Structure 1
Amino acid sequence: MLRLHRVTPADDIWTERATYDDRLIFHTEPWLRFVAETQRAEPVLARVTDGDTTVGHFTGLVTKRFGLRILGSPMAGWTTSYVGFNLAPGVPRRAALEALMPFAFTDLGCAHLEIRDRGLVPADLEGLGLRWADAPTAVISLEPSEESLFATMASACRRNIRKAERSGVLVEEVVDDPTFADDFYDQLRDVFAKQNLVPTYSIERVRSLIRHMAPAGQLLLLRARDSSGRCIATAVLPWYHRTMYFWGGASWREHQHLRPNETLIWYALRWARARGVTEFDFVGGNSYKSKYGTVEVPVPWARRSRSPLVANLRDAAQQGFALKQRAVARLTGARA
């Protein structure tokens, strides 16, 4: 029978966790510092044991909502993706998930738990009192050659990349440039304004991500410039182990006819592949991503509350956030 035991973050713990093949950037110390800072949350690390043997690790953060302790691994709105477990080969994820329940609700005293683990499948959730929604992601294998990757893209996507090149669009890698966050966020506001919305997070979150991840060498920041040198698009791409992630991308609407977005993705795919990264993860399953030759991977997002009242509060908070976002957009004059 598996059990979870909370541990204090220390160098030997981070070293041990980095030996697991299913490790993701969202399990690392710099990423947890980023989430803890932006969400005012407390990181929670735990060993998964089978008797006296360590067979894995759990990662999460505890925060408070409505005065209640909540364990997120992660929570919606944290701009972080799958967290959950790192497990040794052969250790059932369902068994680890079952052991998480008493750890979350008894040991940590939480009233609500949410988890999105890349290795979980719907069958793992059955009979555990969890509610869940399908939250698929779109991925690209970077193991084929560059020629094969390009050929797998939709023909329109390939034409757009060639058009950007003919139009003089150039991509630059950004290092130690404090103006990048401003460029990205200004363009992001323009993207949201097209839908009469405002961004779901502030510019401080972008700055925090760069501050924590860039020194670790786990962040690729890209700018696309037009032939006159104007910044017309940006992309934020964390990477670690075998995967690069699309955390965010934005561009000015007036320059989208130059197709800088496709050019940024194509640059990132080649950059990651050249460094031994074997997968590009769009961290979401929007239909527009299929033009890059993606494959959809199902990833359930599960949650469980200590009482129906807590579950209702969670749902009400999510609905309230959507209404607030549209109201703020109207007040600030965002328009399509």
Structure 2
Amino acid sequence: MCVENFIETEVIDITNYYDYITYPDLFLHSSWLKAIEEGLGFKSIGLLTKFEEIPVCLSIFLTAQKAGAFRLAGAPLPGCFTPHLEPVWLKEVDDTFKVKIIEMQNRFLIKDGFSYIERRFRDDLLVKKIGNKKGYEIKFPETFILEIKDDLDTMWKTMEGRSRNMVRKAEKKGVKLVKGEGNVSEIEMFYEMLKIVFAKSNSLPPHPLSLYKSIVKNLMPENRVLILSSVLNDEVIAMGFFIYDDSEIHFLSGASLPEAYKTGANNFIQWNVIKFAVNHGLKLYDLGGKGIPSIDKFKASFGGKSHKYGKIVWRSKKALIAEKIYRNILSFKSKLKV
């Protein structure tokens, strides 16, 4: 008997997602998906897979069209502040069956004309079982995860000594913490500061202002956005942008002026995020992706441990060629700047 003969996948509309998802995590929440759609112009679709007519798995993808001819589907797509979009398993099934369903959903998208498919998982276990087959590119991007304990003293001791010293320095220098309200002028001020940071490397912020505004618009009414500023002598010298739900908080983006490095203003913000997590009974803090040694060292100083996500990518032949050409153009432009 061929199991695949009893598996069917269909597209469902966003209005029907939550008939199947009772307790969505932060990145599957309707307000987050709406924020991404409005901020980046993506669309979302749901793939519902049934086995013998019983719903087994719901995967939500963000979709976009590039260069007119290329349709992209990602759970999630790159560039949307979303580290993972887990499939929702509606029935208990073993990992072998999960891999089969994921592959069948991907084939469904390929048949529907998608040139690029990306999936990112909360951990690396299932991706290891999928393996590098059927033209998939397998990666394991890393982040820092800080487990939140229920008392501040424990969290303070979890931090490295140099980070605690910088928090003390900020307090001694008179740095004050201000919790943002999410108004437009505040978001625009943050983005201007962010542009100053990226200008040092002759680049622009990778995420548009519209995305930040959309996140605040959609999540702030549900108390899922935290904006913290370090203020010295009535001047904002550092800002941090975070999102959270009832169990975890994620660092999205941060920016600071040169004065912040001298006063410990960035450490001060991070310590106050940890305090916020403790006071709200959250279980973990994701400090964001690894990749830049100096920033990695800063994040590690708060006691976070390295954690691997799982990522698989499939590209059509045309998409592979187009991506190679695009990367060559970027490399050429980069050389011209030198």
TM-score by length of 2: 0.86
Alignment match, 1:131: 137
User: 2:238, 2:248 → 1: CA distance?
Assistant: 23
The Cα of 1:325 is off from its aligned counterpart by 7.9
Cα drift, residue 157 of structure 1: 0.5
Structure 2 residue 97 is the aligned partner of structure 1 residue 96: no
Question: Secondary structure at 2:14's aligned position in 1?
Answer: coil
Report the aligned-residue RMSD.
Answer: 2.4
Q: Share of identical aligned residues, percent?
A: 18
In the alignment, which of 116, 121, 124 is matched to residue 120 of structure 2? Answer: 116
Distance apart, 1:70 and its partner CA:
1.2
Tell whether 2:61 aligns with 1:52: no
The whole-number CA distance in structure 2 between the counterparts of 1:283 and 1:129 is: 28
Contact 2:118 / 2:311 at 8 angstroms: preserved in 1?
Answer: yes
Unaligned runs of 5+ in 2: none
Which stretch of the first structure deviates more once superposed, 110-119 or 190-199?
A: 190-199
- The equivalent residue for 1:152 is 158
Contact kept in structure 2, 1:14 and 1:28, CA below 8 Å: no
1:188 aligned to 168, 183, 194, which one? 194
* 1-structure distance, mates of 2:203, 2:50: 46
Superposed CA deviations along residues 67-108 of structure 1, whole A, max 9, x for unmatched, are 1211122222233221141224743342332222222112x3
Structure 1 residue runs without a partner (length 5+): 332-336
Per-residue CA distance 1:109-166 (angstroms, 9 max, x = gap) = 2121111121443423213431122211110001353212111111100100111111
Amino acid at match of 1:36: E
Whole-angstrom distance in 2 between the partners of 1:30 and 1:225: 30
Aligned to 2:287: 282
Partner of 1:259 in structure 2?
Answer: 264
Letter in 2 for 1:79: F
Distance change in 2, residues 1:130/1:186 (3 Å) = same
Shift of the alpha carbon at 1:323?
6.4
Range that drifts further, 310-319 or 53-62? 310-319
3-state SS, counterpart of residue 214 of structure 1: helix
Q: 1:176 to 1:201 in 2, by over 3 A?
A: closer
Per the TM alignment, residue 319 of structure 1 is displaced from its structure 2 partner at its CA by 5.7
Aligned residue identity for 1:78: C
Q: Out of 190, 194, 217, which is 1:211 matched to?
A: 217
The equivalences for 1:283-302 within 5 A come to 283-286=288-291, 287-288=296-297, 289-302=299-312
Give the corresponding residue for 1:313: 322
Q: CA deviation at 1:54?
A: 2.2
Distance, in Å, in 2 between the alignment partners of 1:3 and 1:145 is 48
Matched-pair contact (CA < 8 Å) for 1:173–1:222: yes
1:334 is aligned to none
Task: Confirm whether residue 220 of structure 1 aligns to residue 222 of structure 2.
Answer: no
Q: Give the Cα–Cα distance (whole angstroms) in 1 for the partners of residues 103 and 259 of structure 2.
A: 51
Residue in 1 that maps onto 2:81: 79
Deviation at 1:231, TM superposition (A): 0.9
Q: Secondary structure at the match of 1:282?
A: strand
Aligned residues of 1:190 and 1:253 also touching (Cα < 8 A): no
- Counterpart residue identity of residue 185, structure 1: Y
Q: Distance in 1 between matches of 2:277 and 2:285?
A: 8
Structure 1 residue 24 and structure 2 residue 25: aligned? yes
Deviations 1:5-33 (A, max 9, x none): 221222x63253133xxx43221111111
The secondary structure found in structure 1 opposite 2:206 is coil
Q: Does 1:64 align with 2:70?
A: no
Q: Secondary structure at the match of 1:183?
A: helix
Structure 2 CA distance for partners of 1:117 and 1:325, relative to 1, 3 Å: farther
